[in-house]
Chain A
Amino acid sequence: MVYITSWDEFVDRSVQLFRADPTSSRYVMKYRHCDGKLVLKVTDNRECLKYKTDQAQDAKKMEKLNNIFFVLMTKGPDADITEVTSKEQGEAQPAKRGRGRKQ
């Protein structure tokens, strides 16, 4: 299995993989409390990227990655994820009214 050692590399490559094929790419997370291990996998059924850890600090980084994927999946692969930081939560609410397509 392709385990990536650098977190940043894992994030970059998985976002790239998803943008290349958003319909078949998926992000999987497995957590085992008894072993205290967390494994993340991003695949498009051709290529597979994995990251494993037992560190609490990686759980925080994973939360950011979760947010990135949520945005990419709900708004589309071309969505701007550079805003996906704590700022977005404050700014997004007033901005939402202006963005709506249905309006």
Chain B
Amino acid sequence: MVLLQPDPFLNELTSMYERNTEKGSVWVTFKRSSMKSKATRNKMASAGEIVEYTCLVRATDGKKTISTSVSAKDQQRFQASYATVLKAHMSKLKKRERKERKKAAEGDKKTKE
């Protein structure tokens, strides 16, 4: 499991999507984590210190796993870049099927005639 900084993580994520275009899946998991063990967390809580949480993001293609930890400060920037990566790669999803079908049907009729 490779723990990376947010920016290299996004680069690796991009390559992962590219590698898995013909076959394979990409899983991305978000989980809240304080990055500390339970014992440390309990000590901090009882001592009255605020336990800071981050968002742990993991990505895998079944073979390779990468991860990164996003804190509240990085969150806005990471969110925007992450959205860009997803939008760029999720191109195979269908767009407005019904309208496309109608257009395709009309198109087919025209070519046949």
Alpha-carbon gap, A10 to B78, bound state (A): 24
Alpha-carbon gap, A92 to B27, bound state (A): 29
Q: A31 and B26: CB pair below 8 A?
A: yes
Q: B24 and A34: CB pair below 8 A?
A: yes
Given known A-B contacts A29-B28, A70-B75, A92-B76, A56 and B90 have beta carbons under 8 A apart: yes
Alpha-carbon gap, A35 to B24, bound state (A): 9
Q: B80 and A89: CB pair below 8 A?
A: yes
> How many residues belonging to B are interface residues under a CB distance threshold of 8 Å?
39
Chain A, residues 25-38, CB within 8 Å of chain B (1/0): the string is: 11111111111101
Contacting residues, chain B, for A71 (C-beta < 8 A) = 75
Alpha-carbon gap, A71 to B97, bound state (A): 32
> How many residues belonging to A are interface residues under a CB distance threshold of 8 Å?
38
Q: Restricting to B78-109, which residues have a CB under 8 Å from any CB of A? A: 78-80, 82-83, 86-87, 89-97
Interface core residue of A29, A72, A74, A75 (most chain B CB under 10 Å): A74
B94 to chain A, nearest CB (A): 5
Chain B, residues 46-62, CB within 8 Å of chain A (1/0): the string is: 00001001110000000
Chain B CB within 8 A of A63 CB:
yes
Q: Restricting to A1-51, which residues have a CB under 8 Å from any CB of B? A: 22-23, 25-36, 38
Interface residues of B (CB under 8 A from A): 17, 20-32, 50, 53-55, 70-72, 75-76, 78-80, 82-83, 86-87, 89-97
19 additional contacts, CB 8 Å, given A63-B87, A67-B83?
A: A28-B27, A30-B26, A31-B17, A31-B25, A31-B89, A32-B24, A33-B17, A33-B89, A33-B92, A34-B21, A34-B22, A34-B23, A38-B93, A59-B93, A69-B55, A70-B70, A70-B79, A74-B72, A92-B76
